[in-house]
Amino acid sequence: MLLFCVTTLVLVFTSAADYLNQRKIEPIVPAEGVKKLMLSEYFPKLKGTAGDTEVFIIEGKEPGGTALVVGGTHPNEPAGYLACVLLVESCQVKQGKLIVIPRANMSAFSHTQPLEGTPKAIHFKTRNGNIRYLRVGSRLTNPVHQWPDANLYVNSGQVLSGSEQRNLNRTYPGNPNGTLTEQVAYAIMCLIQKEKPSISIDLHEASPEYTTVNALVAHERAIDIAVETSLMMELEGIQISVEQSPKNFSGLSHREWGDHSETLALLAETANPSQGRLRGRTDEELVITGKDKFYIKASSAGRLRVPYDEEGLPLEKRVGRHLVTLKTLLEVYSQYGEPIEVDVPSFSELMEKGIGYFLNE
């Protein structure tokens, strides 16, 4: 009995330490000249809460327009978050200004999705041979920070499951007196209204069998730019579809950002097998390589919305898609509005050198 009690205590304390350690979020290492703010500077009520998060501003030498890039809305979609990290650590802005929020839902980075078995972090070897790790979190705000869930969540007349009140991309335009997630959404809207970005893009991932994947979802005021971007990318051999944001999809960034500000609002989705319902073992290798034997079978049976073969869908490819999409969007926008010119790691460079090469020490 004594041995059982001691063993139980050891397991409890070990598990508790591991759980608490997950709340220690790893640093982002910005390149020289990148300015760092906190989201609470746009909505002070957020200061000191689990929802406060970093905002990075990269300004070019030449004046121009302003673009907002958001990742980490859903931390279990790592390509969006990593694309933002690479912007902060490796991007050069030649003209205009880039505002980057890599971890939009900071609370959701502090836990993993229940019953999904996803890894807590993924690791990369930098160009100097050191190891950087980056968090894989949950789709929803940590219930430790926001509880209990309502039976139903109603936002602008749309009725959703109660747990969706912890989904940042269902809570826009936010509520200054609402839940933590609604306050984060409200703070991001405050940033948009103050900084007035000409164009804003929310970076996501979806399962390969999902209907909207390898796609751009655009507010109706941004649809022409999205279509032209799609055509430009197809000329480079990158297929991306375009969908118009449905007007009855309340709470989503591509809808509410455009409805409540002058920004041209878009959302990009890449295909991530580690999110899918058809996957096998969910570990760090699957997140990074995107290789899964069950998805190969699903592809041969015509069940997927994207091409899938033995190569899988590696993280470098997914991050590269996001960066190419962003760069092309800004190039297209610059033909019609104030120019925004950025240099980002290219698709071929990412595939050749890997993500770690572009991460700072």
pTM (predicted TM-score): 0.94
pLDDT per residue, tens digit, the chain (361 aa), is 655 555 555 544 554 455 555 667 889 999 999 999 999 999 999 999 999 999 999 999 999 999 999 999 999 999 999 999 999 999 999 999 999 999 999 999 999 988 888 899 999 999 999 999 999 999 999 999 999 999 999 998 889 999 999 999 999 999 999 999 999 999 999 999 999 999 999 999 999 999 999 999 999 999 999 999 999 999 999 999 999 999 988 999 999 999 999 999 999 999 999 999 999 999 999 999 999 999 999 999 999 999 999 999 999 999 999 999 999 999 999 999 999 999 999 999 999 999 999 999 8
Give CA–CA dist 162/310, Å, rounded: 39
Do residues 242 and 223 make contact, with C-beta atoms less than 8 angstroms apart? yes
Please report the pLDDT score of residue 6 as a whole number. Answer: 54
Give CA–CA dist 99/95, Å, rounded: 13
- HSE-up of 139 (CA within 13 Å, CB side)? 16
CA angle 275/279/281 to nearest 5° reads 100
Do residues 350 and 322 make contact, with C-beta atoms less than 8 angstroms apart? no
Please report the pLDDT score of residue 348 as a whole number. Answer: 94
Please report the pLDDT score of residue 336 as a whole number. Answer: 94
Q: Locate 289 and state its tokens.
A: 């390589």
Please report the pLDDT score of residue 12 as a whole number. Answer: 44
Q: For the domain 36-358, what is the CATH code?
A: 3.40.630
Question: What one-letter code names the amino acid at 169?
Answer: N
Domain extent listing, the chain: 36-358
Which residues lie across from 161 on neighbouring strands? Answer: 152
Q: Where are the beta strands (DSSP E) in 27-130?
A: 35-38, 54-59, 62-70, 92-101, 121-125
Which SS3 state, helix, strand or coil, does residue 314 take?
coil
Do residues 301 and 281 make contact, with C-beta atoms less than 8 angstroms apart? no
Peptide bond into 345 cis (omega under 30): no
CA distances from 88 to 92, 141, 339 (A): 9, 24, 20
